[in-house]
Amino acid sequence: MNYKYFSVEEIQKKLEYYCSYQERCHSEVFNKIMKLTSDFNDANSVITKLIDNGYLNETRFCKEFSIGKFNHKNWGKNRIISELKKRKISVKNIEIGLNEIDENVYLKKFNELFVKQLDKHNRKNDVHTKKKIFDYFTYRGWEKDLIFKNFEKF
């Protein structure tokens, strides 16, 4: 295999670009650095410089991630939490990210999605349909008590 070795300055420039077009978490950046070099000291110095220069900020990442996944992928809070934990984000930053989602907007979106799923299944009230709808929402990380409350309404 042909390995190309990069200097710390080259790695720094590559990762500045990598972090500038999309918010990144520390673990994503670390994995990217380790593909470019095998020296942990270089990796730590590059990450420190990225943080100091404002390219890397986990709090900002959590806020953007939470809002983006909620708005575009219709994820619930449980799924957002589990995905952030996979990325080794601290509990405090996860809470900050989830606080960006307005509770009223959250409930409104859930109700809209619930009605949409009911219409998709022709508003049947059988066990098979309820299971499909329940699985749809649990996979996307919506709270189980919220799902059951809406089943009682309809």
| pLDDT tens, residue by residue, 41-79 | 888 999 999 999 999 999 999 999 999 999 999 999 999
Confidence of residue 139 (pLDDT cuts 50, 70, 90): very high
Q: Write down the number of H helices and E strands in the chain.
A: 9, 0
**CB atoms near residue 81 (< 10 Å):** 19
Domain that holds residue 133: 103-153
Reply yes or no on whether the pLDDT at 1 is more than 50.
no
Asked whether residue 80 falls in the same domain as residue 112, the answer is no
Whether 3 maps to a domain, the answer reads no
Shared domain check, 131 and 92:
no
**Does residue 115 share a domain with residue 92?**
no
Tell whether 68 and 37 lie within a shared domain: no
Q: Are residues 45 and 78 in the same domain?
A: no
Of all residues in the chain, the percent with pLDDT exceeding 90 is 76
Residue 25 lies in a domain: yes
Q: How far is residue 54's CA from residue 50's CA, in Å, rounded to a whole number? A: 6
Q: How many domains does the chain have?
A: 3
pLDDT for res 4: 62
Is residue 114 in some structural domain?
Answer: yes
Same domain, 81 and 115: no
User: Is 1 among the domain residues?
Assistant: no
The answer to whether residue 109 is domain-embedded is yes
Q: What is the DSSP string of 44-70?
A: HHHHHHHHHTTS--HHHHHHHHHHHHH
Q: pLDDT category, 2, cuts 50, 70, 90?
A: very low
In the chain the first and final C-alpha atoms are separated, in Å, by 61
